[in-house]
Amino acid sequence: MKRVVITGLGPVTPIGLGAEAFKQAQRAGKSGVKPITRFDASHIACRIAAQVDDDLSPWVDPKEARRIDRFVQLALAGTALAAQDAGLSDADLAGERVGTLVGSGIGGMQTWEETSQVYVSRGANRISPFFIPMMIANMASGQIAMRYGSTGPSNTVVTACATGGMALGEAMRLIQLGEADIMITGGSEATVTPMAMGGFSSMKALSTRNDEPEKASRPFTASRDGFVLGEGAGIVILEELEHALKRGAHIHAELVGYATSADAFHMTMPAPEGRGAAQAMRRALRSAGVNPEQIGYVNAHGTSTPANDLTETQAIKSVFGEHARKLAVSSTKSMTGHLLGAAGAVEAIAVAQALEDGILPPTINYDDPDPELDLDYIPNAAREQQVEYAISNSFAFGGQNAVLVFKRFS
């Protein structure tokens, strides 16, 4: 089976744009969580979020931006950064051997909210003809393909918070099957909006630590009280190994395994003891041909919610047994917040960087350990530690789980 490597990293995150800025921010333990500034959130229980405040105009023309939703703008910026990191020109990304598979958990939420206000105040005849194509979740893949002339396989994953991980896994399979040489893949999300914030707040899913925003995302701690909503994109260039070597590409890491599972349990709660998550991890390890003892690092889903952090810890113990005590585990959501459909792809970028440089990202705000959660969560400071294999977990509402397995490339 064809081998698949990562040659381009395009993170667009609340803690940094581009591979180098994102890497340095992780290693410094930087938090991207701040009070919401885009709208009046005073009437919402949670008034903090992890926003991307950087100017996107270097990658997205302001005129074009008026006709595409923010989640697509973020994805286009991430693609440009990933292509630059991979040393690929626009011409290199054209043609039928280059595919696009970029997902979004929710899609054009901002467009939907703004248009609903137009409908209520001015009527259906005043709705923009761009409303539907701006809102639909497949438009990130579509716009990227149009931007570069990539006419190969094109698809979209919509599996809530597992979207980014599943997108990479499905893109890997397309390359393994010989359907493409290069896949532009990942996830994008832009849901720091009044209705999204209100909806998640009504579910009691969000942290209400409004007075200490930088400390609000605190996975695996005793005082965790919910996740912090974030926005951003993670775009990755996956490439068939021989194709990458032939052009002299710099290879960050190898993607060697992938699996999904369903909890089949509840709309929002994880299955007891993380049964579905454990199943996905075991299947991903089998698909990679890797023993549990070979894994050195787990980038956890680690949302900072009471239920998720407990069941994920239980799932890791179930899969790894005694080796779980030797694993390094961390949640980069402690810094970025939860980017929903972009989370798994952004976290895949973090794993690739950790394997390449031998520096594992920390779980920040880890100052009051939960006695029930007793693994090594890389507390508060990045750690120099070379590992050969790592996994990244992504779990979603609806009980959909995705796990990726990465290998250090040498």
- Asked whether 260 and 172 are in contact (CB, 8 A), the reply is no
Q: What pairing do the DSSP bridges indicate for beta strands 182-189 and 98-103? A: parallel
Rounded Cα distance between 351 and 169, Å, is 14
- Asked whether 250 and 197 are in contact (CB, 8 A), the reply is no
Would you give the end-to-end CA distance of the chain in angstroms?
A: 19
* DSSP-derived 3-state class of residue 95: strand
Q: Crossing angle for the helix pair 343-357 and 19-28, nearest 10 degrees?
A: 80
Q: What pairing do the DSSP bridges indicate for beta strands 98-103 and 154-155? A: parallel
- Asked whether 3 and 244 are in contact (CB, 8 A), the reply is no
Q: Which of 74, 76, 136, 161 is catalytic?
A: 161
Alpha carbon 52 to chain centroid distance? 14
Q: What pairing do the DSSP bridges indicate for beta strands 4-13 and 182-189? A: unpaired
- Residue type at position 318: S
333, two tokens: 């959501």
Rounded Cα distance between 262 and 312, Å, is 14
Q: To the nearest 10°, the Cα dihedral for 384, 387, 389, 393?
A: -30
Q: What is the number of residues in the chain? A: 410
Rounded Cα distance between 86 and 56, Å, is 20
Nearest to 258 by CA among 407, 107, 98: 407
Active site residue 161: yes
Residue 207: phi and psi, rounded to 5, are -65, 145
Compute CA distances 202 → 38, 46, 112, 134, 398, whole Å: 20, 10, 19, 27, 18
159, two tokens: 């599996």
- Asked whether 150 and 185 are in contact (CB, 8 A), the reply is no
Q: What is the DSSP letter of 271?
A: P
Enumerate the active-site residues.
Answer: 161
